[in-house]
Structure 1
Amino acid sequence: MRTLRIRQVAVAAADRDAVSEVWRRELGLGEPFHDPVVDRWGLHNAVFPVGDAFLEVVSPHTPGAGSPAERHMARQGGDCGYMAIFQVDDLDDGRRVLAANGMRSVLDVDHDDIRSTHVHPADVGAAIISLDQPVPPSSWRWGGPGWAQRARAVVADGIAGVRLVGPDPGALLERWARALAVEPRGDRLVLDDRSTVTVGPGERAGLVGVDLWAAPGAAQVSFQVAGTRFRSVRR
């Protein structure tokens, strides 16, 4: 398995629409897709294409009902980073890698146009890792119908990285490295497209930052929403 890129990042927040409005204002994004599939987990969401990558916010439909995202928010003390979805070239091999490393799956999806495995967050720490293989590779079912027509690249045109923290950053980095089959370089993992997973020290393990590739000619931005620092960086 080759881990090609970070294709989508999700945050969990009490107020889906408030997070959506911040993203639209700060990043110049268009209309989101609201995926009805997440209803089965007691959630509603909004998925925004950023170039051909995606930002997602999930929120509990019924506060206090104990949805997975709500439990994650409770552990983190509020709105927070929730999931990083990695595009891979061979999910069958990816599933073998996870099994060989004793990492459990909490969800396996096998559609004709995309296959996906969510790794149990307790086995990696900080956030949920999802390994996804779309067919064809340029497609992305989770973005919704016609996502390419809704895509905007005014401020940013892709995901450059995620930033994690934890009380034992070395161990956290090593677990993510094994899940993604990527050798660490110092405090980070570097994927095929040069996007990165960077790990630093923190009181509790969490996904605390998302880096976005700055669009050509766009000013760089930095802002905080959903307990997560978003910033654009130059290629």
Structure 2
Amino acid sequence: MGQVRLRQVVIAAQSLGVADTLAAVLGLGDGFLDPGVAEFGLVNRVYALGDQFLEVVVPTALTAPAGRFIARGGEGGYMAIFQTDDLAAARVRADALKIRRVWNIDLPDISASHLHPADVGAAIVSIDEARPAASWRWGGPDWQKNAAPGRLTGAVIHTASPDLMATRWAEALGVKATGGQVELSDAKLEFRPGTQERIVKFLVSVPDVGAAAVRAARRGLDVVDNEVRIGGVAIVLAE
């Protein structure tokens, strides 16, 4: 397998007000409403940050998977989407590891497989192959025009067994884990001890942390040690 990128992260929230707050604090452009997520009992907004994406999903029914996720532990990090240049190999690898693929799609411009969170731990992991690689259907047709400057640099995942889960995610992605960390071509995943198994932090690089802090204050949020909590996730800001 070639490079593996962290291309998109997802917060499950109770309302799209979380999307509005996220966009306001990070200075994001117009969000894309993807009608396709209705298949999963969701409405959403997807925002482009550079050529990566922040998504907020809201369940339209408590019986939807995201609704059950929120009922178990509140709003929070729900999904991480990784880009590969060889999804066929990733699918073979998942099957060999007995990791269930709960959703698969093959379109002319993108293919994707969602891995069962019970088999990898903490969140839904999606592995996607975009064609061409610089494209991204899930961001909508105008994402490049609406992209804000910045990038995703990583995530922090809590689990009772950091080394084991880091290894499991790394095996699924076809990369290596070292000391509870998974290094990707453009991001780092850190697995840390925690009682609630889920993604707890997203690391985000923005042009001006001070300006983001001011925008957070206008929303009634505190930025402490460059962290602001939105939708049950700590957004860690760096320049």
Q: TM-score normalized by structure 2?
A: 0.90
Residue among 63, 73, 88 paired with 2:70: 73
Per-residue CA deviations over 1:33-89 (Å, capped at 9, x if unaligned) read: 000011122110000001110000100123x3x0011111222x2101100000111
Shift of 1:2: 3.1
Q: Is the Cα contact below 8 Å between 1:3 and 1:180 reproduced in 2?
A: no
Q: Is the Cα contact below 8 Å between 1:3 and 1:181 reproduced in 2?
A: no
Shift of 1:172: 1.3
1:205 aligns with 2:197: yes
1:225 aligns with 2:230: yes
User: Partner of 2:91: helix, strand, or coil?
Assistant: helix
Query: What does residue 108 of structure 1 align with?
Result: 104
Shift of 1:133: 0.5
Query: What does residue 167 of structure 1 align with?
Result: 160
Q: Which amino acid aligns with 2:14?
A: A
Q: Which amino acid aligns with 2:41?
A: G
- Counterparts of 2:2 and 2:192, CA distance in 1: 24
Bigger Cα displacement from structure 2, 50-59 vs 174-183: 174-183
- Counterparts of 1:90 and 1:150, CA distance in 2: 28
Shift of 1:3: 4.4
- Counterparts of 2:180 and 2:41, CA distance in 1: 36
Query: What does residue 14 of structure 1 align with?
Result: 14
Q: Which amino acid aligns with 1:229?
A: A
- Counterparts of 1:152 and 1:161, CA distance in 2: 18
- Counterparts of 2:131 and 2:164, CA distance in 1: 33
Structure 2 spans left out of the alignment, 5+ residues: 213-225
User: Partner of 1:137: helix, strand, or coil?
Assistant: coil
Q: Is the Cα contact below 8 Å between 1:2 and 1:181 reproduced in 2?
A: no
Q: Is the Cα contact below 8 Å between 2:4 and 2:173 reproduced in 1?
A: no
Query: What does residue 54 of structure 1 align with?
Result: 53
Residue among 143, 151, 160 paired with 1:158: 151
Query: What does residue 33 of structure 1 align with?
Result: 32
Q: Which amino acid aligns with 1:185?
A: T
- Counterparts of 1:37 and 1:179, CA distance in 2: 25
Q: Which amino acid aligns with 1:191?
A: L
User: Partner of 2:204: helix, strand, or coil?
Assistant: strand
- Counterparts of 1:73 and 1:59, CA distance in 2: 10
- Percent identity over the alignment is 40
Structure 1 spans left out of the alignment, 5+ residues: none
Q: Which amino acid aligns with 1:14?
A: Q
Q: Is the Cα contact below 8 Å between 2:209 and 2:237 reproduced in 1?
A: no
1:99 aligns with 2:91: no
- Counterparts of 1:184 and 1:214, CA distance in 2: 27
Report the aligned-residue RMSD: 1.4
- Counterparts of 1:180 and 1:190, CA distance in 2: 11
User: Partner of 2:98: helix, strand, or coil?
Assistant: coil
Shift of 1:183: 1.0
Bigger Cα displacement from structure 2, 217-226 vs 80-89: 217-226
Shift of 1:213: 2.4
- Counterparts of 1:93 and 1:70, CA distance in 2: 32
- Counterparts of 2:229 and 2:92, CA distance in 1: 37
1:4 aligns with 2:1: no
TM-aligned CA distance change 1:82 to 1:3, over 3 Å: farther
1:127 aligns with 2:132: no
Q: Is the Cα contact below 8 Å between 1:160 and 1:233 reproduced in 2?
A: no
- Counterparts of 1:89 and 1:70, CA distance in 2: 32
- Counterparts of 2:110 and 2:205, CA distance in 1: 25
Bigger Cα displacement from structure 2, 102-111 vs 1-10: 1-10
Bigger Cα displacement from structure 2, 221-230 vs 43-52: 221-230
